[in-house]
């Protein structure tokens, strides 16, 4: 949780969200809290009126390729060329579906997912770009630029005057979108890459089939185990 004194408006976004517990982070997954957060209903001082406590309820991380091109390097090629990457996707920061930023909220998202996310009103480059790469090995390549998109839900409570004493009051809930560091590089279908990475996502854009090595390894082990039992 993050506690910070801020105005009631952040840019054009009127802050009015709920405070609940249960931060979760995962790939292409989301979760919501079942229990109320400890700050809801907690007493606060008159000096704290207007203070806000943010809670990230869920966080879903998915790799996304934002720029891409493919090409074939023939045998004997040894040169440095300039390649044009086309925009294939865009990612920005938004709150409740509107382009917006909240440093306080996205600092909490950073802690939840374990890597730095953008906290300003930024987007990935929406223009086509060019890069220089040098290739000497023949093969079919994908040249990419991408990042990790983070989506989820959040809530917060505000210290408000109450009956006899101020307390943290629930104000609603919202959704957010942001993204992590930019990554760029090349991929080939022969590369064995971890799942849920930007490089693997680039392989999918390149049209590479899903890896089959793990399934082959399991079938090789079963006959040996049966033979040892006899």
Domain count, the chain: 1
pLDDT in tens, 142-167: 999 999 999 999 888 899 987 778 98
Task: Please say whether the beta carbons of 22 and 34 come within 8 A.
Answer: yes
Q: Is residue 216 part of a domain?
A: no
Which residue, chain included where needed, has tokens 């079919």?
140
pLDDT higher than 70, residue 36: no
pLDDT in tens, 93-139: 999 888 877 788 899 899 999 999 998 888 887 767 777 777 778 88
Task: Please say whether the beta carbons of 199 and 208 come within 8 A.
Answer: no
Q: Is residue 220 part of a domain?
A: no
Q: Where in the sequence is the domain holding 171, given as residue range(s)?
A: 2-209
pLDDT higher than 90, residue 221: no
| Torsion angle (degrees, nearest 10) of CA 46, 47, 49, 51 | -150
Q: Is residue 30 part of a domain?
A: yes
Q: How far apart are CA 151 and CA 153, in angstroms?
A: 7
Q: Is residue 214 part of a domain?
A: no
Q: How far apart are CA 155 and CA 4, in angstroms?
A: 14
* Cβ-based neighbours of 192, under 8 Å, separated by 6 or more: 211, 213
Q: Is residue 196 part of a domain?
A: yes
pLDDT higher than 70, residue 28: no
Question: Can you give the pLDDT at residue 15?
Answer: 30
Q: Model-level pTM?
A: 0.70
- 3-class SS of residue 202: helix
Task: Please say whether the beta carbons of 113 and 61 come within 8 A.
Answer: yes
């Amino acid at each position: 949780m993050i506690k910070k004194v801020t105005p009631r408006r952040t840019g054009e976004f009127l802050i009015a969200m709920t405070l609940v517990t249960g931060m979760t982070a995962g790939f292409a997954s989301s979760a919501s809290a079942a229990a109320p957060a400890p700050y809801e209903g907690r007493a606060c001082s008159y000096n704290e009126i207007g203070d806000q406590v943010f809670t990230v309820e869920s966080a879903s991380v998915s790799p996304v390729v934002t720029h891409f091109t493919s090409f074939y390097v023939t045998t004997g090629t040894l040169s440095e060329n300039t390649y044009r990457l086309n925009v294939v996707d865009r990612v920005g920061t938004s709150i409740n579906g509107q382009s917006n930023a909240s440093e306080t909220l996205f600092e909490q998202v950073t802690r939840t997912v374990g890597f730095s996310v953008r906290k300003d009103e930024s987007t990935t480059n929406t223009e086509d770009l060019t890069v220089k790469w040098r290739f000497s090995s023949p093969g079919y390549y994908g040249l990419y630029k991408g990042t990790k998109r983070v989506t989820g839900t959040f809530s917060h409570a505000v210290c408000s005057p109450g009956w006899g004493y101020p307390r943290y009051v629930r104000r609603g809930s919202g959704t957010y979108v942001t993204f992590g560091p930019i990554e760029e590089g090349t991929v080939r279908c022969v590369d064995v890459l971890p799942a849920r990475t930007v490089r693997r996502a680039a392989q999918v854009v390149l049209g590479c089939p899903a890896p089959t090595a793990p399934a082959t390894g399991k079938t090789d082990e079963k006959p040996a185990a049966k033979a040892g039992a006899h």
